[in-house]
Amino acid sequence: MPVIICSGKRNSKVAKEITDKGFCSTKGIYYHGLKLHGLGFYRKGHLPHPEQLLFTKASENDIAHLKRVATYIDNRTYFGDKIYGNVDFWAEMEQTNNCRMLTPIKEIKDQPESQKKGEKAYNDLFSKAVSSVRKPIESLFNWLIEKTDIQRASKVRSIKGLLTFG
């Protein structure tokens, strides 16, 4: 989740040591600020129990961050969005840490139409199941936004203020 200090058109003058320019693909915007990453335990019918909430620079790749964190955790099944589907990394994690990542299924470019139709029902069902497990973490982020307005940090004027705000 992006924590936006100012839009990408402007340069941030606040907390330059821990912020930089990044792109939020969900919102389709460039911005200066941080990213909030969350790792939580699934609890059916409730918001997830946060295991980790961590800030990184806006330009840092989400996969790079997860690779650093996941290598220290064993025996886990992760549910993520399509960006986390790095097959090589997760094949290694399954062997070494007994961890795996489930993500919605991406369409394969240049796949024959007959094959797409044949796999469509399975792919749609699997993707829907993964998304339903991921929905509570999205709800947790929405709850944080609603309670703290954390995404709009434009009034923050120092590193201490930004970290207190977040």
Q: Nearest 5°: phi and psi at 74?
A: -110, 160
Give per-residue pLDDT as tens, 3-62: 888 877 777 677 778 888 999 888 888 988 889 888 888 888 888 888 888 888 999 988
Q: Which residues contact 165 (CB under 8 A, 6 or more apart)?
A: 148, 150, 153, 156
Q: What angle do CA 72, 1, 131 make, to 5 degrees?
A: 75
Res. 75 pLDDT band, cuts 50 70 90? very high
Written as six digits, the tokens of 49 are: 């129990």
| Among candidate residues 107, 91, 23, the one with its CA nearest the CA of residue 58 | 23
Give per-residue pLDDT as tens, 108-157: 777 777 777 778 888 889 999 998 888 888 888 888 888 888 777 766 66
Give per-residue pLDDT as tens, 38-53: 888 888 888 888 888 8
Q: Nearest 5°: phi and psi at 8?
A: -65, -15
Range list of H helices, 24-73: 62-70
Confidence check: pLDDT of 158 > 70? no
